[in-house]
Structure 1
Amino acid sequence: MDILFQASHRGDVEELQELLAKNPLILYQVPFMSAQNPLHFASAAGHLEFAKKILELKPEFARQLNEDGYSPIHLASANGHADIVREVIKVDSNICRLEGGDGRTPLHLAVLGGKVDVISEMLAACEGCLEDLTMQKETALHLAVRHYQLASLRVLLDWSKQIRKEEILNMKDEHGNTILHLAVWKKQRQAKVNAVNKSGLTALDLLLIFPSEAGDREIQDILQSAGATKAQNLNSTTCYSSANLDPPSNSCRSKDLIDFFRFHEGRDSPSDVRTTLLVIAVLVAAATYQVGISPPGDVWQEDDQGLVAGTSILATRNVVSYILLVSCNSIGFNVSLSMIYTLTKKFPLQTELQVCIFALYMTFNTAVAATSPESTRAFTIAFTSVLPTVVPLSFLLLRKFRVIERIISIFRIQRGN
């Protein structure tokens, strides 16, 4: 048996053939004599031809663990022998996910050793091994960051994006750390920990401005240990003291909040803006529709002394207030319908959507006209009928007027210069 292991150490295929000729059962006797097999030695030393011969004769050796709990592919991966890894994978691609004695897979060992060729070989054969965890619930990405293996990290990130498994970046180890937590802790991203967003805020600013119920102190300590500071300290302007880490003052906090939530053309995508506008328009339509079908003060319940059941009580007691209410409410309702139509103009099922909007418009106008007394009904019907045409035209004119105003202001500035 020692002669067989010595031959595997040297990668001597001819000697292996001689040993097999003398004892055809020698490979079958190995499991009874040792936890290691010749493939372990050949894989560790990088003897490709010897490894291929052993795999041809005894493919089950590929899964055998030695005394340390490692298989041949573990040893080949740790030593960067991509060609042997490729041959072992041919036996079974899932062998890449074989756990060693400490829970580490061959991919984990390749990452720790910075063996990028082996990493690519295994991920190409078995994408799932990217999600395998150690006993500490660490992914290969965690190990790359923790042990400063930047080359391995780049390959893993490229593969994560290529196979569309970016969610693995948010996986946490047993301590609840993502790879970002580890990167900050290791100070590998210290140069960017004070980067400001489009609102001029650093990560520490956001943490102090938007406190949560738990974990803030720990995150703050991590950021500060990596050299994090506030945006105002970076710019040498003091809205609050740079000598301490107290939360910003109320005036500074309010200013940051307003600027953070304000619309930013470069930051907010058209899709987000359209969604927000559509939500606002629907809310306005719902609110104004409710007022239209159920006017404030309710309606008369029965005919009595010239009063007609179903008409607005407010209209009979204060005509001016009622007309003002109906006018403003109808404007809000029609503007919101116009916004909904504009924002959904190229949506699918356009015909059905327009039918819904028209039905909503007719229901609203019918309800408003029905609750209006005789004295205001003509005005109500005329006003609500004209609005659908007037609203788009009025906004078109307003936009043109604003453009003209800007042109005039630019002209005046140029003349002043």
Structure 2
Amino acid sequence: MFVDSPLHIAASSGQSRFAMEMINLMPSFTKKLNKSGLSPMHLALLNGYFELVSLFVHADPGLVRVKGRGGLTPLHYATKHGNIHLMVYFLLACPESIEDVTVRGETVLHIAVKTNMLEALEVLIGWLQRVCHKDALDWKKFIPNWRDEQGNAALDIAVSNMQIQAIQLLAEIKAKNSKGEDASQILQGQTQLDRREVLKMLRRSTSVVKASSIQSTERLTAVLRSKTRFQERFAIYIARCRMRISDDVINALLVVAGLILAATYQTIYNPPGSVHQDNIGAIKTNVTNSSTGGGPLRDVEAGTVIMSGGDFTLFSVCNSLTLYLALNVISLLVPDDFFGRTLKLLLSWLALCYYVSILIISPSSSVAPVICTILAWLLFSIVYNILSVYSRKFCAFQKKKQMELQQLIRFYDAKLCPEELLSAEVQRRGAAAAPGEETCPEINPSA
């Protein structure tokens, strides 16, 4: 169990071809620990063989969560050494690795703060703010406030070491210390002089962090290290809530939203009090009212509502808001494929017909219903654009960045180890290998 396997030796010496074949033939070797408490992926990472690390991740993304000596995972090592590109690569391959803690109860946030790796801490905070995962809301709530074996949260360590930039970064995700206090509450417990000094340092640290970001940030980590805007945070929250909903709940919500949509749409064609049937009846009604001493005559047209302008204003606005909310719910729940987009197009035409109907049945003497309806349309159009556009943007963020990071992390020499030839060679030799047959080249550990 604690003896170096051939895969350990290959990982230590960076022999990608042989390691690839061993992964194919003996996948169980990838999770075994040697006498130093390290897995083959740990060895490849510590020796700087990043192309081999990429091979391990492609073979099994779950290897990112394999714990070595001290309970340290590859993500912990990457954070400890400040390798932000590998950090993002690991997080994209296995988002659940953010949950892992060491034997001392330390999260990646603890490690980043203790080693004063501000760029790594910035990437982790950006990940917690943006990742689209069904457990993302729980991660953002519990991981920043997780306590190690000594009862210290990441904010406790930053405050005790007076790491102002780390405090400022942790304040963005509302991290709290072991007493449940956030950064602002901690400052209130200091003397007035200390508070002023810390506030000045916080203001200065903001510009320092931004300056260092410009100098050292690559395009693949720029998004994670950038500040989030309100509409982005709102859209990410909606996307996360959507991912937590099961298929059965989605089906039930679609049924309920469809019923609400049908009811509100039908109501506009049969409003309370009905509509005037023709102009002649309206003229006779006006004459009768005039002869009996009623109010002034009111011009009416066939097809307009009988209720007063004020009542229709209230009715149309409430009905319109209900209908458009139902449209938004349906648009967010349907899949974003060809059929889903076709359905959204049909729903938009349905909404257009609805508002044309309101314009037709509105009393000619009042334009308030039309104005209120247009305002409601603009309001929910903005909300819809935020939810749909930004939600799709951040839900597709992980897949897009993963493809880019794979190209960044892979440092293959096309002449020595072309990927296509290597894959074909592994499949050929793996299929031809008989039990007990030696098919692997010898490894020179000193190579």
Shorter-chain TM-score tier: 0.3 to 0.5
- Give the TM-score normalised by the residue count of structure 1: 0.39
- Give the TM-score normalised by the residue count of structure 2: 0.37
